[in-house]
Structure 1
Amino acid sequence: MKNILFILFSTIGLSLSAQVGVATPTPKAILDVNGNINLRGKLVVLNAADSKLSEGRDDQLLVSQGAGLAPTWKSLRIPDYETNKFYLIYNNSFSDRVGTTFTSSEEPTIASRSASFTKNSNISNFSQFKKIPGLSQTFNVYSTESKTYFQFETVIQANFATVGTTDTSIDYACGIFVDDKLVNLRQGNLKAVNSTNPFLTHNQIGLAQNLTKGAHSVGVACSRLKSYNVPAGITLGIGTSVSNNIDSFISQSSFKVDVYEVPQVFNAITN
């Protein structure tokens, strides 16, 4: 009988108390446990969506939803990476229909192209190079071991008349720049042919290895290098049409960035 009365009075005392402390005389919540908890039964929380108690599923964790809200069950997903293997961490593609044009007066004076177009040179050292506006973007690198691939495609056009008896052509060049430093450059030549306003497709692939961790900028810049037997008034278009035999859809530029890394940062994902 004494035990029954003790349990009864203890239960009444708990119901009248606003806060209960276990191993602490000053509880700071309705139930404040100062020590380890050995849970042998169910752990349930209120599901705000349907106002029902939820036990969660296997391998789920309780995640806070902020002050005043009940926690919720979430699944924890950690990517499975193998040591020293590269994985695709970032990929994106961009397009541009603005492009850029060049007249004969915008050809740079270059004594030696091989000496001028050196890797890691700053874009400020490249005379008469113009950036293609929509292809300048930013991306992030999270590992000290990385390979970043760039794929650039555009259309080159000149408003040539039909070809004459001599070689009529224009040399041009396009470079891929990371943080305004040259990582890849390709030269090409557009020739006059038997039809007016010829054009060609220019493709280019570049690579940058082990960029520093953090944010980087990337862009594409091109130049009209030299003309051969080209009459006055001929315009070179890169990524834009200079005659109505093609339009901006056909002449547009595209640029793709893929970052492969040996992961060093593991960000768990909950859903």
Structure 2
Amino acid sequence: MKKILFAATIFLTVIVNAQVGINTPTPTNMLDVNGDISIRKELRTAGTDVLKGSAGSAGDILHNNTDLNVNDWKAIKIADGMGSMSVFSINTVADKTGVIFTGSNGSTNPYSDGAALTSDWSVLTGTIDSFSVTSQTNKATFSFQTTIQKTGASSASFACGVFVDDELRAVRTDVLLGDAGAYKIFNLNATLTNLMPKNDYKVKVACTKRAISGSTVGVGTAVNTTFLNSDMSQSVLTTSILQPY
């Protein structure tokens, strides 16, 4: 008789505590496992006393849904062309100071990949940023947008480039036409593939004058405030790093 009462006492204790610990004497949850877990079949979530939980679909990931206080499954969708890469880091910086070109014409020679950042170029200081690459397989995408404005009725040409560690890695030239005060949006998008893994790459955008024909040219800044202001003319650089997940 004593043995039967002893077994019943143990059973009631387990029910009252309602927590089970494996490899721990002080469980903090309903099931507390201090060690590795091997699951040979399905892992189901959000089940009830009468319904099985969801095991998700092939390719789904387990998602900690804090808004609903429950875990669920989410599908990962990768855009066509990215393969198995996902965004490793992304950052946007902005510049409202800009640069102004006056005086005589600048050089109209072609530009070479890897050319050094020289005094011919004027850096948009607000576009200076840094990024890191940790995988041999990667894509670094740079998206730059600014506004160009000029004085005078003559055309004005210019160039803007993306410099990584003070080496030119992407460049685009353009010409601004129109009457005094005319302005236009300028975009430069570039992708570098398989940069060497490294911490703290430095990226910046710099611009230079080409044939300005005696006009004053503002890059990322207004030179005729009748038609433009600093909020409208500011420059933005977004750097995105994609790596295999």
**If the length of structure 2 is used for normalisation, what is the TM-score?**
0.66
Q: Distance in 1 between matches of 2:202 and 2:22?
A: 54
Q: CA RMSD in A?
A: 3.1
- What letter matches 1:121 in structure 2? A
Does the aligned pair in 2 maintain the 1:100–1:238 contact within 8 Å? yes
SS at match of 1:207: strand
| Residue 116 (structure 2) pairs with residue 122 (structure 1) | yes
Secondary structure at the aligned position of 1:226 is classed as coil
> Equivalent residues in 2 for 1:47-196 (5 A)?
54-55=28-29, 57=31, 85-105=84-104, 107-110=105-108, 113-114=109-110, 117-124=111-118, 127-160=119-152, 163=153, 168-193=154-179, 196=180
Change (3 A) 1:243 1:56: farther
Q: 2:24 maps to which residue? A: 43
1:217 maps to a residue whose letter is K
Aligned partner of 1:211 in structure 2 is 195
Deviation at 1:119, TM superposition (A): 0.7
* Structure 2: runs of 5 or more not aligned: 1-19, 37-63, 65-75
User: Is the radius of gyration larger for structure 1 or structure 2?
Assistant: 1
- Aligned-partner SS, 1:123: coil
- Pair 95,60 (structure 1): closer, same or farther in 2 beyond 3 Å: farther
Change (3 A) 1:219 1:54: same
Distance 1:55 1:149, change over 3 A: same
Give the aligned partner of residue 240 of structure 1. 221
Q: Would you say the 8 A contact 2:23–2:35 is kept in 1?
A: no
How many equivalent residue pairs? 184
- The one-letter amino acid paired with 1:183 is R
Opposite residue 120 of structure 1, the aligned amino acid is G
Question: Contact between 2:24 and 2:32, CA under 8 Å: does it hold in 1?
Answer: no
Q: Shift of residue 207 of structure 1? A: 1.2
Q: Helix, strand or coil: the match of 1:220?
A: strand
Partner secondary structure for residue 260 of structure 1: strand
Give % identity.
25
TM-score, normalised to structure 1, is 0.60
- Per the alignment, do residues 59 and 257 of structure 1 end up closer, same or farther by CA in structure 2, a change over 3 Å counting? farther
Is the alpha carbon distance of 1:246 and 1:59 closer, same or farther for their aligned partners in structure 2, counting shifts above 3 Å? farther
Partner AA of 1:242 in structure 2: V
Write the deviation string for residues 187-233 of structure 1: whole angstroms up to 9, x where unpaired: 0111133xx311000011011111111220100000111124x4xxx
